[in-house]
Amino acid sequence: MPLDKGDIYWVTLTGNGSEQRGRRPCIVMSRPAVNNALNTVLIVPLTTSEGPHQAFRIRIPVSQMIRDINCKSELEPSIAKCDQVRVLDKSLLENKIGRLTQTAIAAVELGIAFVFDV
């Protein structure tokens, strides 16, 4: 399956302690060349829970999301938890929700850069 940076999928995450877990939207943030070469992708989980504003938690309004034609879910304003970035096997990607705009992708990239201090 072709995957692009900025695609949003439902994923059921497992986690311990403060790690994100449960079924939630996640953004594919690895570049297409990597996505095509490997069986894994780099993802950033989304949440709708407001917390304290931090530079690595990127607010994404619905206007910055493009819903997939087959998606039955309503889009909600979300927060990309760039501090929870992880590698995921592609087989765990469930239904496609849609994708982010280029502006939102750039904002999430900045959040990841902040986390990794690059």
Q: Which of 116, 22, 69 is nearest to 42 (CA)?
A: 116
**CATH number 3.40.50.970 given to 7-116:** no
Stretch (H or E) spanning 106: helix 102-116
> Global pTM?
0.94
> For residue 61, what are its two tokens?
């309004």
Residue 18 has pLDDT above 80, yes or no: no
Q: Which of 34, 36, 25 is nearest to 1 (CA)?
A: 36
The one-letter amino acid code at 38 reads L
What is residue 118's predicted lDDT score, i.e. its pLDDT? 87
> For residue 12, what are its two tokens?
């059921």
Query: Which residue's structure tokens are 């497992």?
Result: 14
* Cα dihedral 78, 50, 31, 36 sign: negative
Q: What are the tens digits of pLDDT across the range 32-45?
A: 999 999 999 999 99
What DSSP state is assigned to residue 9?
E
Extract long-range pairs of 50-55: CB within 8 Å, 24+ residues apart.
50/79, 51/79, 54/83, 55/111, 55/114
Strand partners, 93: 11
Q: What are the tens digits of pLDDT across the range 87-110?
A: 999 999 999 999 999 999 999 999
